[in-house]
Amino acid sequence: MAGTPPWPGELPAEWWERLAARSIEALVFGVFYYILFILLWGIFRTVGVLEVFHGRLPGVFAWLVAGLGYAGYDWWAHSRRGRTFGKAIMRIRLAPAESPPRALLKRALVYPGPIMLMGIPVVNLLAGMLLFAVGLLILIDKPLERGPHDRLAGTRVVKDLR
């Protein structure tokens, strides 16, 4: 039947639940980023390369490692349990939970993958605009409320009523 969602019986997660889940995760990975930044700053200062790129090198590497870590965690958690710790706290999950790991890797590289580019001047603006656009597309896509990363993976974020 036309207009019937492919996931009958599952309620889509509200936009604010998704935002809260990502915010919880961002706090944890933000702390990880700052610890990395301080460690890299100390290392680069010690070996004398702090001045490369006008002192931005520790930030670039910290964003790269933290962004890769976040994207890798996102892929691993969704592949293994169908949700991240932020989604678990907010009682939401991906549907279908048995999505192929390859599709979930594409999902993680579209969002939150661009976070790894945030330390690069000018590129960080483009990455931020991409992340904003992904969030905006989730709000606009009615009734399924899927972002481009969900469409690419064939997933949808739903309430976990278990």
Residue with tokens 């904003």: 132
Q: Is 8 helix (H, G, I), strand (E, B) or coil?
A: coil
My answer on whether omega of the bond before 112 falls inside 30° of 0, hence cis, is yes
- What pLDDT score does 155 carry? 92
User: Strand (E) positions, 53-108?
Assistant: 92-95
pLDDT for 8-32, tens place per residue? 678 899 999 999 999 999 999 989 9
- Is residue 3 very low, low, confident or very high in pLDDT (cuts 50, 70, 90)? very low
pLDDT of residue 4: 43
Is-above-0.85 flag for pTM?
Answer: no
Residue pLDDT, tens place only, 113-145: 888 888 888 898 998 898 899 889 988 988 888
Q: In which band, very low, low, confident or very high, does the pLDDT at 7 lie, cut at 50, 70 and 90?
A: low
pLDDT tens per residue across span 36-92: 888 888 887 787 777 777 777 888 888 888 888 899 999 999 999 999 999 999 999
CB atoms within 10 A of CB 97: 15
* Dihedral, CA of residue 57, residue 69, residue 118 and residue 85, to nearest 10: -140
Q: Please report the pLDDT score of residue 54 as a whole number.
A: 73
